[in-house]
Amino acid sequence: MDTLTHQLAFLNHCRGIGRRTVWQMIQANPRLCDLHKCTRAELRSIFHLSEAQIQLFMEDRSHIDLIRLLEAYQAEEISIIPFHHPNYPSLLKNIYDPPYLLYTKGNIALLNDKKILSVVGTRYPSVEAGKVLRGLIGPLISDGWTIISGMATGIDGMAHRLALHGRTIAVLGSGLWHPYPSQNRRLFQQLCEEQLVISEYPPSAPPERWRFPERNRIISGMALGTLVVEARERSGSLITADQALEQGREVFAVPGSILNVMSAGTNRLIQQGAKLVCDWQDIVQELNWA
Protein backbone atom coordinates (compact mmCIF):
# COMPACT_ATOMS: atom_id res chain seq x y z
CA MET A 1 0.00 0.00 0.00
CA ASP A 2 1.45 3.38 -0.98
CA THR A 3 1.80 6.22 1.52
CA LEU A 4 -1.09 8.28 0.16
CA THR A 5 -3.51 5.34 0.37
CA HIS A 6 -2.32 4.63 3.90
CA GLN A 7 -2.99 8.25 4.90
CA LEU A 8 -6.41 8.27 3.23
CA ALA A 9 -7.38 5.10 5.07
CA PHE A 10 -6.21 6.66 8.32
CA LEU A 11 -8.28 9.82 7.75
CA ASN A 12 -11.29 7.70 6.81
CA HIS A 13 -11.29 6.27 10.33
CA CYS A 14 -11.01 9.63 12.10
CA ARG A 15 -14.03 11.37 13.55
CA GLY A 16 -14.43 15.12 13.34
CA ILE A 17 -13.66 15.38 9.62
CA GLY A 18 -15.75 14.56 6.60
CA ARG A 19 -15.18 13.90 2.93
CA ARG A 20 -14.96 17.57 1.96
CA THR A 21 -12.33 18.24 4.62
CA VAL A 22 -10.25 15.31 3.38
CA TRP A 23 -10.38 16.67 -0.18
CA GLN A 24 -9.31 20.06 1.18
CA MET A 25 -6.39 18.34 2.89
CA ILE A 26 -5.43 16.67 -0.38
CA GLN A 27 -5.56 20.02 -2.17
CA ALA A 28 -3.35 21.61 0.46
CA ASN A 29 -0.96 18.65 0.65
CA PRO A 30 -1.37 16.19 -2.28
CA ARG A 31 0.72 13.47 -0.62
CA LEU A 32 -0.80 14.08 2.83
CA CYS A 33 2.64 14.19 4.43
CA ASP A 34 3.10 15.04 8.11
CA LEU A 35 -0.57 14.78 9.06
CA HIS A 36 0.47 14.18 12.66
CA LYS A 37 2.09 17.64 12.70
CA CYS A 38 -1.10 19.50 11.78
CA THR A 39 -1.86 21.79 14.72
CA ARG A 40 -5.15 22.83 16.26
CA ALA A 41 -4.66 26.33 14.88
CA GLU A 42 -4.16 24.97 11.35
CA LEU A 43 -7.20 22.72 11.62
CA ARG A 44 -9.20 25.74 12.72
CA SER A 45 -7.90 28.33 10.26
CA ILE A 46 -7.24 26.25 7.13
CA PHE A 47 -9.95 23.61 7.32
CA HIS A 48 -12.50 25.57 9.41
CA LEU A 49 -13.10 22.82 11.94
CA SER A 50 -14.96 23.59 15.14
CA GLU A 51 -13.36 22.96 18.54
CA ALA A 52 -15.54 19.86 18.99
CA GLN A 53 -14.45 18.50 15.60
CA ILE A 54 -10.80 19.24 16.33
CA GLN A 55 -11.02 17.42 19.66
CA LEU A 56 -12.49 14.29 18.04
CA PHE A 57 -9.92 14.33 15.26
CA MET A 58 -6.99 14.79 17.63
CA GLU A 59 -8.19 11.95 19.85
CA ASP A 60 -8.52 9.52 16.94
CA ARG A 61 -5.26 10.67 15.37
CA SER A 62 -3.50 9.64 18.58
CA HIS A 63 -5.25 6.34 19.21
CA ILE A 64 -6.17 4.65 15.92
CA ASP A 65 -4.03 1.58 15.21
CA LEU A 66 -4.32 1.54 11.43
CA ILE A 67 -1.83 -1.32 10.97
CA ARG A 68 -4.04 -3.60 13.07
CA LEU A 69 -7.13 -2.53 11.12
CA LEU A 70 -5.46 -3.09 7.76
CA GLU A 71 -4.36 -6.57 8.83
CA ALA A 72 -7.96 -7.35 9.78
CA TYR A 73 -9.20 -6.13 6.40
CA GLN A 74 -6.60 -8.19 4.59
CA ALA A 75 -7.65 -11.29 6.53
CA GLU A 76 -11.23 -10.66 5.34
CA GLU A 77 -10.02 -10.14 1.73
CA ILE A 78 -11.16 -6.51 1.77
CA SER A 79 -9.22 -4.31 -0.65
CA ILE A 80 -8.91 -0.52 -0.48
CA ILE A 81 -9.12 1.33 -3.80
CA PRO A 82 -8.19 5.05 -3.49
CA PHE A 83 -9.04 7.72 -6.04
CA HIS A 84 -5.54 7.57 -7.59
CA HIS A 85 -5.58 3.78 -8.09
CA PRO A 86 -5.82 2.51 -11.71
CA ASN A 87 -8.87 0.40 -10.76
CA TYR A 88 -10.81 3.39 -9.40
CA PRO A 89 -13.87 3.83 -11.69
CA SER A 90 -13.22 6.59 -14.21
CA LEU A 91 -16.86 7.71 -14.36
CA LEU A 92 -17.03 8.00 -10.58
CA LYS A 93 -13.90 10.14 -10.49
CA ASN A 94 -15.71 12.75 -12.60
CA ILE A 95 -18.73 13.36 -10.36
CA TYR A 96 -19.00 16.46 -8.18
CA ASP A 97 -18.36 14.74 -4.86
CA PRO A 98 -16.48 11.44 -5.42
CA PRO A 99 -15.42 9.18 -2.56
CA TYR A 100 -11.68 9.44 -1.99
CA LEU A 101 -11.47 5.69 -1.43
CA LEU A 102 -13.57 2.54 -1.72
CA TYR A 103 -13.52 -0.62 0.37
CA THR A 104 -14.16 -3.59 -1.89
CA LYS A 105 -14.82 -7.29 -1.51
CA GLY A 106 -15.06 -9.55 -4.53
CA ASN A 107 -14.05 -9.14 -8.15
CA ILE A 108 -12.50 -5.65 -8.39
CA ALA A 109 -12.19 -6.04 -12.18
CA LEU A 110 -15.89 -5.08 -12.32
CA LEU A 111 -14.91 -1.54 -11.30
CA ASN A 112 -13.54 -1.00 -14.79
CA ASP A 113 -16.57 -2.28 -16.70
CA LYS A 114 -17.71 0.21 -19.34
CA LYS A 115 -21.32 -0.88 -19.80
CA ILE A 116 -22.81 -0.26 -16.34
CA LEU A 117 -26.48 0.48 -15.67
CA SER A 118 -27.84 1.33 -12.23
CA VAL A 119 -31.22 -0.16 -11.35
CA VAL A 120 -33.29 1.14 -8.44
CA GLY A 121 -36.87 1.07 -7.26
CA THR A 122 -39.31 0.47 -4.44
CA ARG A 123 -38.68 -1.86 -1.53
CA TYR A 124 -42.20 -3.21 -2.00
CA PRO A 125 -42.50 -4.08 -5.71
CA SER A 126 -45.64 -5.43 -7.30
CA VAL A 127 -45.78 -8.80 -9.05
CA GLU A 128 -45.89 -6.88 -12.33
CA ALA A 129 -42.68 -5.03 -11.45
CA GLY A 130 -40.90 -8.35 -11.00
CA LYS A 131 -41.99 -9.45 -14.46
CA VAL A 132 -40.94 -6.13 -15.98
CA LEU A 133 -37.55 -6.32 -14.28
CA ARG A 134 -36.90 -9.83 -15.57
CA GLY A 135 -37.87 -8.75 -19.07
CA LEU A 136 -35.45 -5.82 -18.99
CA ILE A 137 -32.51 -7.19 -16.99
CA GLY A 138 -32.26 -10.60 -18.67
CA PRO A 139 -31.45 -9.29 -22.17
CA LEU A 140 -29.17 -6.57 -20.78
CA ILE A 141 -27.13 -9.16 -18.88
CA SER A 142 -26.90 -11.29 -22.03
CA ASP A 143 -25.74 -8.18 -23.89
CA GLY A 144 -22.83 -7.74 -21.46
CA TRP A 145 -24.19 -5.05 -19.16
CA THR A 146 -23.17 -4.82 -15.52
CA ILE A 147 -25.97 -4.00 -13.09
CA ILE A 148 -25.21 -1.77 -10.10
CA SER A 149 -27.64 -1.21 -7.23
CA GLY A 150 -27.86 -0.77 -3.47
CA MET A 151 -28.69 -4.30 -2.21
CA ALA A 152 -31.89 -3.03 -0.56
CA THR A 153 -34.97 -5.19 -0.34
CA GLY A 154 -37.33 -5.06 -3.30
CA ILE A 155 -36.14 -3.94 -6.72
CA ASP A 156 -32.46 -3.59 -5.72
CA GLY A 157 -32.18 -7.13 -4.42
CA MET A 158 -34.18 -8.54 -7.34
CA ALA A 159 -31.86 -6.81 -9.83
CA HIS A 160 -28.77 -8.24 -8.13
CA ARG A 161 -30.21 -11.75 -8.05
CA LEU A 162 -31.15 -11.63 -11.71
CA ALA A 163 -27.60 -10.52 -12.51
CA LEU A 164 -25.79 -13.16 -10.44
CA HIS A 165 -25.19 -15.21 -13.58
CA GLY A 166 -23.81 -12.09 -15.27
CA ARG A 167 -22.07 -9.11 -13.64
CA THR A 168 -23.34 -6.99 -10.77
CA ILE A 169 -22.02 -4.53 -8.16
CA ALA A 170 -23.65 -3.66 -4.83
CA VAL A 171 -22.99 -0.32 -3.10
CA LEU A 172 -23.63 -0.40 0.64
CA GLY A 173 -24.84 2.37 2.91
CA SER A 174 -22.80 0.80 5.71
CA GLY A 175 -19.42 -0.84 6.21
CA LEU A 176 -18.65 -4.28 4.77
CA TRP A 177 -18.80 -5.85 8.23
CA HIS A 178 -22.38 -4.64 8.67
CA PRO A 179 -24.31 -5.43 5.46
CA TYR A 180 -27.87 -4.14 5.48
CA PRO A 181 -30.65 -5.27 5.40
CA SER A 182 -30.25 -8.50 7.36
CA GLN A 183 -32.69 -10.37 5.12
CA ASN A 184 -30.25 -9.94 2.24
CA ARG A 185 -27.35 -11.51 4.14
CA ARG A 186 -27.24 -14.55 1.87
CA LEU A 187 -27.30 -12.28 -1.18
CA PHE A 188 -24.43 -10.27 0.30
CA GLN A 189 -22.35 -13.43 0.69
CA GLN A 190 -23.07 -14.47 -2.89
CA LEU A 191 -22.10 -11.03 -4.18
CA CYS A 192 -18.83 -11.09 -2.22
CA GLU A 193 -17.98 -14.56 -3.54
CA GLU A 194 -19.10 -14.18 -7.15
CA GLN A 195 -19.48 -10.46 -7.90
CA LEU A 196 -18.45 -7.24 -6.11
CA VAL A 197 -19.58 -5.26 -3.05
CA ILE A 198 -18.21 -1.78 -2.31
CA SER A 199 -18.56 0.93 0.32
CA GLU A 200 -16.94 4.28 1.01
CA TYR A 201 -17.34 3.71 4.75
CA PRO A 202 -14.90 1.79 6.98
CA PRO A 203 -15.91 -1.88 7.38
CA SER A 204 -16.93 -1.28 11.00
CA ALA A 205 -19.38 1.52 10.10
CA PRO A 206 -22.96 0.60 11.06
CA PRO A 207 -25.93 1.38 8.81
CA GLU A 208 -27.14 4.93 9.43
CA ARG A 209 -30.18 6.57 7.86
CA TRP A 210 -28.13 9.44 6.35
CA ARG A 211 -25.67 7.09 4.69
CA PHE A 212 -28.18 5.57 2.27
CA PRO A 213 -29.07 8.72 0.32
CA GLU A 214 -25.38 9.68 0.44
CA ARG A 215 -24.25 6.42 -1.18
CA ASN A 216 -26.80 6.88 -3.99
CA ARG A 217 -24.42 9.28 -5.77
CA ILE A 218 -22.02 6.33 -6.14
CA ILE A 219 -24.71 4.07 -7.59
CA SER A 220 -25.58 6.65 -10.25
CA GLY A 221 -22.03 7.95 -10.59
CA MET A 222 -20.56 4.62 -11.68
CA ALA A 223 -23.22 4.04 -14.33
CA LEU A 224 -23.97 5.44 -17.78
CA GLY A 225 -27.63 5.62 -16.85
CA THR A 226 -30.14 4.87 -14.09
CA LEU A 227 -33.29 2.79 -14.53
CA VAL A 228 -36.17 3.31 -12.09
CA VAL A 229 -38.70 0.48 -12.22
CA GLU A 230 -41.28 1.34 -9.55
CA ALA A 231 -41.16 4.19 -7.03
CA ARG A 232 -43.45 6.34 -4.94
CA GLU A 233 -43.43 10.06 -5.64
CA ARG A 234 -41.13 10.60 -2.65
CA SER A 235 -38.61 7.81 -2.39
CA GLY A 236 -34.90 7.08 -2.21
CA SER A 237 -34.99 5.88 -5.79
CA LEU A 238 -35.83 9.39 -6.96
CA ILE A 239 -32.83 10.70 -5.02
CA THR A 240 -30.68 8.39 -7.14
CA ALA A 241 -32.41 9.63 -10.29
CA ASP A 242 -31.80 13.25 -9.24
CA GLN A 243 -28.15 12.45 -8.60
CA ALA A 244 -27.88 10.88 -12.06
CA LEU A 245 -29.31 14.02 -13.67
CA GLU A 246 -26.91 16.25 -11.73
CA GLN A 247 -24.05 14.04 -12.92
CA GLY A 248 -25.15 14.38 -16.55
CA ARG A 249 -26.27 10.75 -16.85
CA GLU A 250 -29.36 9.35 -18.51
CA VAL A 251 -32.46 8.47 -16.50
CA PHE A 252 -34.92 5.79 -17.61
CA ALA A 253 -38.30 5.03 -16.08
CA VAL A 254 -40.90 2.30 -16.50
CA PRO A 255 -44.41 3.79 -16.78
CA GLY A 256 -47.36 2.51 -14.77
CA SER A 257 -51.01 3.10 -14.01
CA ILE A 258 -51.91 6.49 -12.54
CA LEU A 259 -53.97 4.52 -10.02
CA ASN A 260 -50.87 2.77 -8.66
CA VAL A 261 -49.00 4.80 -6.02
CA MET A 262 -45.87 2.78 -6.80
CA SER A 263 -45.89 4.25 -10.31
CA ALA A 264 -46.34 7.86 -9.22
CA GLY A 265 -42.59 8.47 -8.99
CA THR A 266 -41.70 6.87 -12.33
CA ASN A 267 -44.56 8.60 -14.12
CA ARG A 268 -43.43 11.91 -12.69
CA LEU A 269 -39.87 11.26 -13.89
CA ILE A 270 -41.18 10.64 -17.40
CA GLN A 271 -43.23 13.83 -17.21
CA GLN A 272 -40.02 15.67 -16.28
CA GLY A 273 -38.07 14.25 -19.21
CA ALA A 274 -36.83 10.79 -18.27
CA LYS A 275 -36.76 8.25 -21.08
CA LEU A 276 -39.87 6.07 -21.10
CA VAL A 277 -38.80 2.42 -21.27
CA CYS A 278 -40.87 -0.19 -23.05
CA ASP A 279 -38.12 -2.76 -23.60
CA TRP A 280 -34.39 -3.18 -22.97
CA GLN A 281 -33.42 -1.88 -26.41
CA ASP A 282 -34.80 1.55 -25.48
CA ILE A 283 -32.00 1.75 -22.91
CA VAL A 284 -29.25 0.41 -25.17
CA GLN A 285 -30.15 2.69 -28.05
CA GLU A 286 -30.36 5.80 -25.86
CA LEU A 287 -26.90 5.07 -24.47
CA ASN A 288 -25.53 4.50 -27.99
CA TRP A 289 -24.48 0.92 -27.26
CA ALA A 290 -26.73 -0.67 -29.89
Query: In the chain, where are the structural domains located?
Result: 3-75, 106-286
pLDDT for 290? 52
The CATH number of the structural domain formed by 106-286 is: 3.40.50.450
pLDDT for 34? 83
Neighbours of 236 (CB within 10 A): 20
* Prediction pTM value: 0.95
Taking alpha carbons only, the member of 231, 239, 220 closest to residue 266 is: 231
DSSP-based three-state secondary structure for 124: coil
- Rounded CA-CA distance 280/135 in Å is 8
- Rounded CA-CA distance 26/76 in Å is 29
pLDDT for 236? 86
- With a cut of 50, which residues of the chain have pLDDT below it? none
pLDDT for 197? 98
Taking alpha carbons only, the member of 152, 158, 149, 157 closest to residue 131 is: 158
Q: With the CA atoms of 189, 83, 81 and 2 taken in that order, what torsion angle do they form, in degrees rounded to the nearest 10?
A: -170
Indicate the residue type of 156: D
pLDDT for 114? 95
DSSP-based three-state secondary structure for 79: strand
pLDDT in tens, 68-84: 999 999 999 999 999 99
pLDDT for 215? 96
pLDDT for 37? 84
